[in-house]
Structure 1
């Protein structure tokens, strides 16, 4: 069904509209971006300027420069008739009903029947938007509420009206899901829909309670952050991020549209400090600072505002109550004595009770509420998952004891949980007091669901092997950041004969945010400190053997990475028969950044790809130079599409836009390779030898003279040049894959013995940033 939308028009080239257009283009679909004709400049200046700005923005709205070329710009006076060629029109103009309604009248005059029209509004009811429009227009109309930035925020709230054609809504839903990578949550036509209604309540309550209880912004964010499963920005850091000037607008919108007896009306209040900050331009990160700021007059000292005086002071460290920090024990958090525990209870109890009131008013079930908050606000657990951690009865009893209203949904739950696992399936409690299966959309396969109903085929401290059905097994990394170590290599060795004997194919995948951060550097530091050089070399050789065993296994191996896949995590992609990558893939061979060279076969695999790349000049040096440039600079792709341009992925490797669909797509790709599968043949190389080595070092010297490389970068680059040029081999010699592995291992061991490398490794572990020594 996704191909029924072949062209999209976005009207409104502001930050949100332009970002939506970019994500449509990222999906490989042409998009027409229109805005008004400005009083000065070219007629298409606004839309053209939006595209130009996005090409310079970091993080980038576009996944590749090729995607940007799919955006056609124009204006609503000259080009509105082109809507007739579009299958979906998205309105993202200013939140004024009169402007939107005037635009809809013009759209209706030129659009084709069945072309979906949606508004990105988050404040105006759907019924008001379509007032005065024809029945035909109402059938094609819906609300599609994207979250900013559209490329990176997965949530899309869809609101259908009573007259909306189910087929039109389904068409948009499917395209947004499969092509744009959105997790779609169906919301009701109520103010703020789901995420912003709860999120705005949570923010307002958090600010009120912090001020009333005399907390500092640091204390409030320490409590309302990781201990609650919320990003470390907490409340005040989040407001700085989205813009303090947004708070009065959200308040005005919700107080003007919510019923007078809604709990938000009770807590909504004007905050003089916020009004003062906005007046001074202290609107957060986009302004002169916000609740937090860097003071350039004091050497960019980090400062925080005093909530009682409005004056800035040096930022101080604040910690959540002992025993609760980072452990997700919400009961321990809210029972902590003192103002921090009291703040935690006031914020959690108020927010969770409010969420419980919104079923079925804002959403049909608890799953929609939880998904909206996890995807829209990056909470690790949704409100009802949090209630399960506290206990629904505990929450209800404590609310009642304090004289607070108890939502009917909490009374309905009683001593039960809102979620349970029954017969290997996750279920949720419905309004009918019965449990219902959580149903995944067709084409969605989650490892977490498989784990509910099965046991591992193999398991150790760092990896697990699962049967994911249809003769396919899944290799999952399980260490911190999915770091790779000897245990992973050991399990790979055990998995290969098992799969060869009893299964069809293997997929390398995990549900985590990061596929793999590479080799376990902490383990390397420990081994160096006790001078266990033999163990380190054994680990390098073991990784080489494991990866080559995967490459030459008698069955297809498909890797399915998402997020970070660097170092050894990238090398496993390079050794796979195919890759099905999530669109947000950040991969590369980054070992040079910590003073090492890739040691698990990545050099040879990347070299083999570049020498066979279309248009690559013949001879030993062009491909070698390309790999040297990429690896010596520790280049990491900013998307899966860019990973193809860097040859970390093959041109024919697949890209999945929706993270939830990645495992299913990878499994299907693996099955497609089974029939007639033959392992690849081992490559041989002609490398440039000593003259090539000298040439690579000259290129690196150029970087050093420009201040782009340090003295030790030159040493690391020389080790890499040794490997890529063939070491002691010359152009007339045939260099085998095994020869390259030997060179890799030798140069890796040279570098790991160097104290300057260990300084880099230690700095990376401590700060997460490279050391420029």
Structure 2
């Protein structure tokens, strides 16, 4: 087998191909992006170059940082195809036409180096068709790598091998996709639509048909088929709007052409004049004029929904999801129950019949749907909620075929915990351990076999082995409160006496949304100012206790790390961040200033980074610019540019590998560890504050800052410049904390701040007062 993958070529600079190239560049690996020579114009590389330029302007961004784009080399197939000889992996992402793909492979076979992998991003053409006419040597290096769109953000990668594919080549590609590109690799069989799109397209079609047959509104269908079934809040119709209504007929056509005549999918495909008209009129979903839902800007940005019977738009009326558990939901004798059973009674048996055909086991099918369609539960986890025997009985009572795997299960569940390990039921009737990839460490697995070392209502501490403890936030949105802070103090004491290091980590959707604003506003409403002061002081004390603990602390964020969640990162010895970490000190957005030491830590980082001119003002100005505008990094790479992460901090591409990487980093710091020395600040004083105020007033004149923004930014400027300190004075860390505390408490008493906090809690959006 050839060596590791150090350069990649992507052929096809459409949305998917360009996105794959961007993700390779995000991993720090050079990538060659090729497309055809345009029919017009003198620039022969215009298509590939245009794709890169477009991605730099796209939001959400395919690139994790502007710098990543520099790793993309552009070219064209006519002039530059020979450069594939430099590449260890060639990804084909051209149009879904077999003849075009096969013609390209014929050229690649003569140009690529031995052992270099070639893969197709196809989702519709069988692998055996793709390699027809190619040599055995080419077939050994060939596989399918089916990314999901957008490649940066969707975690699923379906990998398909053929009978001749070299296992070592497939393993090399799978490992690179896992560790470097951050994808969860699910092995699928060479069957139509593979796993996720096969089930997902069927599911969406069944849902649309059932909603129309039962006369439900789109809101009712999304309420029933959404939250109760663990489907994202978009529901069915919202998801179709997101992916594009015009994509549905294309998926139906491609699957319909390749599935066996007796496949239940064929029965779901029927003329829907409403959908045809919507596509013809440009109502293709979010990318078009609207879809099943739309925002009517002429009516004051009113959300509207389409009437499935008339095709007319009307004001959207929210529908409450039923609270029934699944067995009760599908047993209801009303339209809600009929729709729920119409959906689950079709989709779950369909998925069950794909064991052996689309995937080797139920785990692959469940993972594909959770990662590819963001289902909270996979099909077999949903069956466990209903009961395999109950599902089989109802299908039999209705004269419908019962999938073999349901008969194999009988009264048993598809998943169980045995000896602290999660096991799944195989087609052989025996249970098998769910095996994690090598190097993956998950807190959910640790929890099955151990009890927390410490625990309260907001946090817990776990032993993750080798003398390392893990501090986990457990409150809603992992918001931080007094209980969290108390447990930090206890954790410091525990690790100091019994362990080597501490990792701050959790497996929630977000690391932490910051301090619990709901508790804060409750305290404001009852004028419990002493409690608020105690919370601010407690946070400062707890975070400094972490910073100066006699052992290394490594924080491992993923998702949002805002406000107090960001500040705990800033007080850690090191950070190992998931690539999709969105970090920021956002307090000014709700009329506050950072109160748990964030101001001083950010000044210290910028001062010591050595990238700014010397003197007290440059670092302060940088921090003021970032914090006053509540700037949040759009990736861990961007967080480095904003100094939320330092140069030596690590970035993990695969979310499942984050805890293991953070633990390894913590252990690497143990030998010879010494707590940091408290910094002393040379700050610009009153003169610097005046300069920052002038800058803020400039934004105000341009309409970029509100009246109250000026008040808040002045409070922030006073902290950052050292209050009444003179330019020659040295400001201690403790003095800066006192300035933070004073500014925070003054702002929280202001009714304009209170209005901002209440609006954020109610709407999730900032109030511009």
Relative to the length of structure 1, the TM-score reads 0.98
Equivalent in the alignment of 1:702? 698
Once the two structures are superposed, the pairs formed by residues 661-700 of structure 1 within 5 Å of their partners are: 661-700=657-696
Tell whether 2:408 aligns with 1:417. no
Once the two structures are superposed, the pairs formed by residues 431-510 of structure 1 within 5 Å of their partners are: 431-510=427-506
Deviation per CA, 1:598-638: give whole Å up to 9, x if none. 00000000000001122311111110111011100000000
Cα contact 1:302–1:314 (8 A) shared by 2: yes
Cα contact 1:320–1:340 (8 A) shared by 2: no
Once the two structures are superposed, the pairs formed by residues 48-59 of structure 1 within 5 Å of their partners are: 48-59=49-60
Cα contact 1:712–1:756 (8 A) shared by 2: yes
Rounded to whole Å, the distance in 1 between the matches of 2:467 and 2:318 is 52
Cα contact 1:505–1:671 (8 A) shared by 2: yes
Once the two structures are superposed, the pairs formed by residues 542-561 of structure 1 within 5 Å of their partners are: 542-561=538-557
Once the two structures are superposed, the pairs formed by residues 122-521 of structure 1 within 5 Å of their partners are: 122-321=123-322, 323-324=323-324, 329-521=325-517
Rounded to whole Å, the distance in 2 between the matches of 1:335 and 1:734 is 72
Rounded to whole Å, the distance in 2 between the matches of 1:299 and 1:699 is 34
Equivalent in the alignment of 1:98? 99
Rounded to whole Å, the distance in 1 between the matches of 2:331 and 2:527 is 48
Residue 273 of structure 1 and its aligned partner are, at CA, apart by 1.5
Rounded to whole Å, the distance in 2 between the matches of 1:2 and 1:308 is 59
Residue 497 of structure 1 and its aligned partner are, at CA, apart by 1.3
Equivalent in the alignment of 1:537? 533
Residue 266 of structure 1 and its aligned partner are, at CA, apart by 1.9
Tell whether 2:609 aligns with 1:609. no
Residue 304 of structure 1 and its aligned partner are, at CA, apart by 1.4
| Structure 1 segments (4+ residues) deviating >4 Å | none
User: In terms of mean alpha carbon deviation, does 537-546 or 269-278 score higher?
Assistant: 269-278
Structure 1 unmatched ranges of 5 or more: none
Deviation per CA, 1:183-204: give whole Å up to 9, x if none. 0000000000000000001001
Deviation per CA, 1:381-414: give whole Å up to 9, x if none. 1000111111111111111111111101011111
Rounded to whole Å, the distance in 2 between the matches of 1:75 and 1:172 is 24
**SS class of match (2:78):** coil
Residue 243 of structure 1 and its aligned partner are, at CA, apart by 0.8
Rounded to whole Å, the distance in 1 between the matches of 2:91 and 2:389 is 44
Rounded to whole Å, the distance in 2 between the matches of 1:111 and 1:119 is 15
**SS class of match (2:518):** helix
Rounded to whole Å, the distance in 2 between the matches of 1:478 and 1:708 is 37
**SS class of match (2:670):** coil
**Using a 3 Å threshold, how does the CA distance of structure 1 residues 444 and 3 change in structure 2: closer, same or farther?**
farther
**SS class of match (1:586):** strand
Rounded to whole Å, the distance in 1 between the matches of 2:602 and 2:230 is 39
Equivalent in the alignment of 1:734? 730
Tell whether 2:769 aligns with 1:768. no
Tell whether 2:33 aligns with 1:38. no
Rounded to whole Å, the distance in 1 between the matches of 2:437 and 2:295 is 46
**SS class of match (2:235):** coil
Cα contact 1:2–1:178 (8 A) shared by 2: no
Cα contact 1:516–1:565 (8 A) shared by 2: yes
**Using a 3 Å threshold, how does the CA distance of structure 1 residues 274 and 464 change in structure 2: closer, same or farther?**
same
Deviation per CA, 1:677-718: give whole Å up to 9, x if none. 100000001111111111111111111111111111111011
Cα contact 1:62–1:68 (8 A) shared by 2: yes
Deviation per CA, 1:152-194: give whole Å up to 9, x if none. 0000000000000011100100000000000000000000000
Among residues 505, 519, 526, which one is paired with 2:522 in the alignment? Answer: 526
Cα contact 2:700–2:706 (8 A) shared by 1: yes
Equivalent in the alignment of 1:656? 652
Rounded to whole Å, the distance in 1 between the matches of 2:335 and 2:356 is 34
Residue 733 of structure 1 and its aligned partner are, at CA, apart by 1.3
Rounded to whole Å, the distance in 2 between the matches of 1:203 and 1:450 is 36
Cα contact 2:595–2:741 (8 A) shared by 1: yes
Rounded to whole Å, the distance in 1 between the matches of 2:296 and 2:665 is 53
Structure 2 unmatched ranges of 5 or more: none
Rounded to whole Å, the distance in 2 between the matches of 1:604 and 1:416 is 57
Equivalent in the alignment of 1:589? 585
User: In terms of mean alpha carbon deviation, does 330-339 or 383-392 score higher?
Assistant: 330-339
Cα contact 1:2–1:179 (8 A) shared by 2: no
Rounded to whole Å, the distance in 2 between the matches of 1:335 and 1:760 is 45
Cα contact 1:2–1:175 (8 A) shared by 2: no
Rounded to whole Å, the distance in 1 between the matches of 2:321 and 2:617 is 56
User: In terms of mean alpha carbon deviation, does 218-227 or 577-586 score higher?
Assistant: 218-227
Equivalent in the alignment of 2:567? 571
Rounded to whole Å, the distance in 2 between the matches of 1:95 and 1:529 is 61
Cα contact 2:2–2:116 (8 A) shared by 1: no
Cα contact 2:28–2:68 (8 A) shared by 1: yes
**SS class of match (2:596):** coil
Residue 758 of structure 1 and its aligned partner are, at CA, apart by 0.4
Deviation per CA, 1:82-112: give whole Å up to 9, x if none. 0000000000011000111111111111111
**SS class of match (2:119):** strand
Residue 732 of structure 1 and its aligned partner are, at CA, apart by 1.4
Rounded to whole Å, the distance in 2 between the matches of 1:317 and 1:139 is 54
Cα contact 2:2–2:115 (8 A) shared by 1: no
Rounded to whole Å, the distance in 1 between the matches of 2:523 and 2:295 is 40
Cα contact 2:2–2:114 (8 A) shared by 1: no
Cα contact 2:536–2:596 (8 A) shared by 1: yes
Deviation per CA, 1:451-479: give whole Å up to 9, x if none. 00000000000000000011101000000
Residue 333 of structure 1 and its aligned partner are, at CA, apart by 2.1
**SS class of match (2:427):** coil
**Using a 3 Å threshold, how does the CA distance of structure 1 residues 297 and 624 change in structure 2: closer, same or farther?**
closer
Residue 3 of structure 1 and its aligned partner are, at CA, apart by 7.3
**SS class of match (1:78):** helix
Deviation per CA, 1:621-664: give whole Å up to 9, x if none. 11011101110000000000000000000000000000000000
Cα contact 2:567–2:598 (8 A) shared by 1: yes
Equivalent in the alignment of 2:754? 758
Rounded to whole Å, the distance in 2 between the matches of 1:301 and 1:605 is 43
Cα contact 1:2–1:174 (8 A) shared by 2: no
Residue 299 of structure 1 and its aligned partner are, at CA, apart by 3.3
Relative to the length of structure 2, the TM-score reads 0.99
Deviation per CA, 1:572-595: give whole Å up to 9, x if none. 000000000000010010000000
